[in-house]
């Protein structure tokens, strides 16, 4: 694959954990555990392929309305993820960022996130962004309200600085696993000109090889940004 055609920023909607588990007659939590393992391995693979920014949708604002039992299981998985992986990311010089409304999450998760971000800050190899308690509309509304409070008119450029993703370029490629063909409130502003790739694979089955297929599909796209093509 030609190195110049590697997307600088890949975003992934990690969907299908529950259905992966159901197919195996396992509880949904087993699907989330398998998804978490895959998430760790996949993000390393993405950076090995030359991706510089990898943004993973792990939990939406709307997901916070799921049953308490499922959410408690997910929060336990996040806790163990942060504890196990922050040092590893630091060693690999990958900066961890978390986007979303952390006040919606248990307070110890907020503390773990802040420590993880501080611990990995300045890693030069890439940025791994986890979207937790994130909603695209909420992101846009918070930015609008901030601009209104500050009494400032915004441009597309200055508005981008008010979003959670400030400092992160827009995604070049967005992958959604798990069969659905929708954005489910992810990075709505940021994906204006992002290339979209949908796969039927449930996230725990979305292997490194499947990720490479998405990179290949991206390499054959012509990005026109509204202009006339070649």
Q: Which residues are catalytically annotated?
A: 15, 63
> Interface with ligand IPE includes 180 (CB under 6 A)?
yes
Q: Using CB under 6 A, which of 9, 38, 54, 57 touches ligand IPE? A: 57
Q: Using CB under 6 A, which of 17, 43, 129, 194 touches ligand IPE? A: 17
Q: Quick count: other Cβ atoms within 10 Å of Cβ 117?
A: 14
Q: Which two tokens stand for residue 188?
A: 């709505």
Residue 52 touches which member of Mg ion, ligand IPE, none, C-beta under 5-8 Å by kind: none
Closer to ligand IPE by CB, 6 or 63: give it: 63
Measured distance CA(215)–CA(103) in Å, rounded: 35
What's the distance, Cα to Cα, between the start and end of the chain in Å? Answer: 21
> Do the beta carbons of residue 147 and residue 157 sit within 8 Å?
no
> Interface with ligand IPE includes 19 (CB under 6 A)?
yes
Q: Using CB under 6 A, which of 152, 182, 223, 224 touches ligand IPE? A: 182
Q: Using CB under 6 A, which of 123, 184, 191, 219 touches ligand IPE? A: 184
Measured distance CA(29)–CA(106) in Å, rounded: 18
> Interface with ligand IPE includes 15 (CB under 6 A)?
yes
Total of residues contacting ligand IPE (CB under 6 A): 17
Residue 17 touches which member of Mg ion, ligand IPE, none, C-beta under 5-8 Å by kind: ligand IPE
**Least gap, CB of 177 to ligand IPE (angstroms):** 8
Residues 170, 174, 178: CA angle, nearest 5 degrees: 150
> Interface with ligand IPE includes 58 (CB under 6 A)?
yes
- Segment interacting with ligand IPE (CB under 6 A) among 7-15, 111-119, 146-154, 221-229: 7-15
Helices 107-120, 68-91: axis angle to 10 degrees equals: 10
Residue 74's H or E segment, with its range, is helix 68-91
Q: Which two tokens stand for residue 176?
A: 């959604």
**Least gap, CB of 140 to ligand IPE (angstroms):** 17
**Residue 98 CA, distance from chain mean position:** 9
Q: In the complex, which residue's CB is closest to ligand IPE?
A: 18
- Segment interacting with ligand IPE (CB under 6 A) among 37-45, 79-87, 166-174, 177-185: 177-185
> Do the beta carbons of residue 82 and residue 62 sit within 8 Å?
no
Provide the sign of the torsion angle of the four alpha carbons 225, 197, 53, 74, taken in this order: positive
DSSP-derived secondary structure letter, 52: S
> Interface with ligand IPE includes 14 (CB under 6 A)?
yes
Q: Please give the residue ranges that form the binding site for ligand IPE (CB under 6 A).
A: 13-19, 57-60, 63, 74, 178, 180, 182, 184
């Amino acid at each position: 694959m030609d190195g110049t055609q590697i997307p600088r920023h890949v975003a992934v909607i990690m969907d299908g954990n529950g259905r992966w588990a159901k197919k195996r007659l396992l509880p949904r939590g087993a699907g989330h555990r398998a998804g978490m393992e895959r998430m760790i391995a996949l993000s390393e693979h993405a950076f090995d392929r030359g991706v510089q920014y990898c943004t993973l949708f792990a939990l939406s604002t709307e997901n916070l309305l799921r049953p308490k039992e499922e959410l408690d299981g997910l929060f336990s998985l996040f806790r163990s993820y942060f504890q196990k992986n922050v040092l590893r990311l630091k060693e690999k010089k990958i900066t961890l960022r978390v986007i979303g409304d952390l006040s919606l999450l248990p307070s110890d998760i907020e503390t773990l996130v802040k420590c993880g971000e501080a611990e990995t800050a300045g890693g030069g190899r890439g940025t791994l962004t986890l979207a937790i308690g994130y909603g695209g509309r909420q992101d846009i509304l918070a930015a609008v309200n901030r601009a209104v409070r500050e009494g400032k008119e915004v441009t597309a450029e200055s508005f981008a600085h008010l979003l959670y993703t400030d400092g992160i370029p827009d995604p070049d490629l967005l992958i959604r696993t798990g069969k659905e063909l929708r954005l489910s409130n992810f990075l709505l502003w940021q994906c204006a000109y992002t290339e979209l790739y949908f796969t039927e694979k449930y996230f725990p089955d979305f292997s490194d090889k499947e990720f490479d297929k998405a990179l290949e599909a991206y390499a054959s796209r012509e990005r026109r940004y509204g202009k006339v093509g070649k």
